[in-house]
Amino acid sequence: MSAQEVAAAACARCASVVGVIPMPPSRRPAAPCTRCSGRKFMRVIPREHSAAREGIGQVSAPMYATFKPRMRHLNGATWTLPLEIELAGMGLLEMYICKKCGFVEWYCVDVERIPAHPALMTEDIDYEADVPPYR
């Protein structure tokens, strides 16, 4: 079994079928729950499910903030190909659920990989530019 299979606690084929990946490092700071001050959480990489490429069965993959479209160019024409959720994702999402009150916090593991582009329905927001300097 490979190191990745051991980290996912499943063989490569089974992990691919159910959308299991090794857990990346945590993004949440070690702080109490903002709602109830609880200190115990369940960390979850949510998954999404869609029909398989051949239309038989389903594909499961970790949930991402957005997806890079696959484009096909031929004889001056361009069209979008169906997404492959397990390959096209950008911005891996993780959630932390407070075990005391159930409050859910979302974090993005690799936000720096997400480009700002209308076709991806993403944009950069910079609130620091609106804040006057501290005096």
Burial 29-68 (b: 16+ CB within 10 A, else e): eeeebeeeeeeebeeebeeeeeeeeeeeeebbbbbbbbbb
User: What integer is the mean pLDDT of 32-43?
Assistant: 98
Per-residue pLDDT tens over the stretch 69-119: 776 767 777 656 656 666 678 899 999 999 999 999 999 999 999 999 998
Phi then psi for 40, rounded to 5 degrees?
Answer: -120, 130
Check whether 16 has a pLDDT greater than 70.
yes
Instruction: Indicate the domain borders of the chain.
Output: 24-130
pTM: 0.73
In angstroms, the Cα distances linking 54 to 7, 33, 50, 61, 133 are: 29, 43, 11, 16, 56
